Amino acid sequence: MSAEAPVRSRPLPDQAVREWSHSLPAMALARGSDYLILARPRIAVMVLITVTVGYALGCGGAWNSMQLIHALFGIALAAAGSGAFNQFLERRTDARMTRTADRPLPAGRLLPGEVLAFGLVTSAAGVLYLLLTVNAATGLLTLLTVSLYALAYTPLKRWTSLCTAVGAVPGALPPVLGWAASGAALDVRAFVLFGVLFLWQFPHFLAIAWLYRDQYASAGLRMLPSPQRPRVVGLMATGYAAVLLPVSIMAAEFGLAGNLYLVTAIVLGAAYTLAALRFALHESSPAARSLLYSSLIYLPTLLLTMTFDNWRLLQ
């Protein structure tokens, strides 16, 4: 007698539906995770912190929690849109770099059309929300921030190292957005906040660009000056850090903070400048990482001290 071939049972329709329905939550979670990556949450959180600092300094003690919540919600939407635009425009270069190859677009988990749609909807919704719930100045400045980041800085990365200077403008605007949301006039104090964020970014981003210079170069991104000019990156970082010190002191001169902040700004500024100078003298990975870590300590410490000292003066 010949053995009968085993018969493979097919899932019953109800069983197949149950298996498919059980996989839906996992699929939705994975898709939600990819959309969260588009929004670049770490950058968004930093943006919202600086917005809150700008609001706290601009409101002069007249704190309005709902006004701040409206501002944070609208700016968070716009920041998510900016992140999506950035990844849509850089999907091909992201695929060439190890640090970005697993993003949703180069990895093929999302389609370009849906990423572009997500960016358009969230950024437009954010600007409109700010116009309706906060004020025109905040909405228009947010629109300017998104436009400069997506339409100027991101495309310029493929053409010139001056992209860093262009990108530093939208990077420095979040505290000004918070200041505008408080209803305060955009005076010299708001410009000082902008100046601190603007100058701080150069040593920070130059250190990152130097550490990942090979990946950026292989992707065709011009993030640094010509490699034929040795030490220029470190010297640029030192120059910006040195100029940042007196600009940061101006916050105390114009009444944004007092002596506690003044001492803190001098100490932090000197340490940041020394880290940049060390990088200039020894353009190496340890020196670049030291400068990067210094930048990550400098900014939150300075802004928190400024906010606390401002609150103390208002008591």
* CA atoms 72, 73, 79, 82: torsion sign: negative
Same domain for 45 and 167, yes or no, is yes
Q: Does residue 228 lie within any of the structural domains?
A: yes
Q: Does residue 168 lie within any of the structural domains?
A: yes
Same domain for 216 and 296, yes or no, is yes
What's the pLDDT at 13?
54
What's the pLDDT at 26?
64
* CA atoms 16, 21, 25, 28: torsion sign: positive
209: containing domain:
187-315
Same domain for 202 and 167, yes or no, is no
Same domain for 56 and 174, yes or no, is yes
CA distances from 17 to 8, 24, 29, 30 (A): 19, 11, 19, 20
Q: Does residue 22 lie within any of the structural domains?
A: no
Asked if pLDDT for residue 21 goes beyond 90, the answer is no
Q: Is 184 helix (H, G, I), strand (E, B) or coil?
A: coil
Closest CA to 135 of 70, 64, 45: 70
Same domain for 87 and 179, yes or no, is yes
- Domain final residue, candidates 147, 163, 184: 184
Q: Does residue 252 lie within any of the structural domains?
A: yes
**Which residues have a Cβ under 8 Å from the Cβ of 275 and sit 6 or more positions away?**
203, 241, 290, 291, 294
Give 7's pLDDT tier (boundaries 50, 70, 90): very low
- Domain final residue, candidates 136, 159, 184: 184
Q: How many domains does the chain have?
A: 2
Same domain for 41 and 176, yes or no, is yes
Residue of higher predicted confidence among 159 and 249:
249
Angle at which helices 188-211 and 232-253 cross, to 10°: 160
Same domain for 61 and 100, yes or no, is yes
Give 15's pLDDT tier (boundaries 50, 70, 90): low
Compute the distance between CA of residue 37 and CA of residue 25 in angstroms, rounded to an integer. 18
Average pLDDT, the chain: 88
Q: Does residue 303 lie within any of the structural domains?
A: yes
Contact 296, 268 (CB under 8 A): no
Closest CA to 178 of 193, 188, 199: 193
What's the pLDDT at 52?
96
> What are 207-247's pLDDT values in tens digits?
998 998 888 888 787 777 765 556 788 999 999 999 999 99
What's the pLDDT at 5?
47
Asked if pLDDT for residue 16 goes beyond 50, the answer is no
What's the pLDDT at 107?
87
Contact 56, 307 (CB under 8 A): yes
Q: Does residue 21 lie within any of the structural domains?
A: no
Token pair of 209, please?
A: 């660009």
**Which residues have a Cβ under 8 Å from the Cβ of 71 and sit 6 or more positions away?**
51, 55, 130, 134, 138, 177, 178, 181
Asked if pLDDT for residue 3 goes beyond 50, the answer is no
Same domain for 154 and 297, yes or no, is no
- Domain final residue, candidates 169, 184, 199: 184
Compute the distance between CA of residue 260 and CA of residue 60 in angstroms, rounded to an integer. 18
Same domain for 228 and 104, yes or no, is no
Same domain for 53 and 169, yes or no, is yes
What's the pLDDT at 229?
58
CA 305 to the chain's CA centroid: 21
What's the pLDDT at 269?
97
> What are 28-66's pLDDT values in tens digits?
677 778 888 888 888 889 999 999 999 999 998 888 999
Token pair of 32, please?
A: 């939600």
Token pair of 16, please?
A: 């197949």
Q: Does residue 13 lie within any of the structural domains?
A: no
Same domain for 161 and 41, yes or no, is yes
- Write the CATH number for 95: 1.10.357.140
DSSP secondary structure, 135-204, as one string? -HHHHHHHHHHHHIIIIIIHHHTTT-TTHHHHHHHHHH-HHHHHHHHTT----HHHHHHHHHHHHHHHHH
Q: Does residue 162 lie within any of the structural domains?
A: yes
Asked if pLDDT for residue 8 goes beyond 80, the answer is no
Token pair of 6, please?
A: 């085993």
Same domain for 169 and 265, yes or no, is no
Closest CA to 216 of 98, 108, 74, 306: 98
Phi, psi for 96 (deg, rounded to 5): -95, -5
User: Which residue, chain included where needed, has tokens 């609001």?
Assistant: 55
Q: How many residues does the chain have?
A: 315
What's the pLDDT at 17?
45
> What are 254-297's pLDDT values in tens digits?
999 999 999 999 999 999 999 999 999 988 999 999 999 999 99
